[in-house]
Amino acid sequence: MLTEIFLHSKEYWSLVEVGIPTAAEGVDLTEGQSKAIEDKKLKNLKTKNYLFQPIHRSIPETILNKDTINDIWDSLKQKYQEMAGGKCAQLQAL
């Protein structure tokens, strides 16, 4: 939740939800459209950096092969939900 709030404050959350727009194959982009896509790619890299910093060292191996922040976020969400589910099961067994 803290990471989500942080990404909202940096105005990067749309990358998590929507991803990076891409041009359709064979479509000529204006200079402005090309620049906008390149800016989103740079923001995607910055957001990856923000996500990698606070996570446990065992987690990156599951997300290093993901290209977009959207894919990384989904993977992290799934991983942490699995971890939380395991802890709940352990607590219930006690």
Number of H helices, E strands in the chain: 5, 0
The residue among 20, 24, 27, 29 whose CA lies nearest residue 47 is: 20
pLDDT tens string 58-94 = 666 777 778 888 888 888 888 778 777 755 444 344 3
pLDDT tens string 16-44 = 888 877 777 667 888 998 898 888 889 88
pTM of the predicted model, to two decimals?
A: 0.56
Number of domains in the chain: 1
Residue 52 pLDDT greater than 70, yes or no:
yes
71: containing domain: 2-93
3 state DSSP class of 45: helix
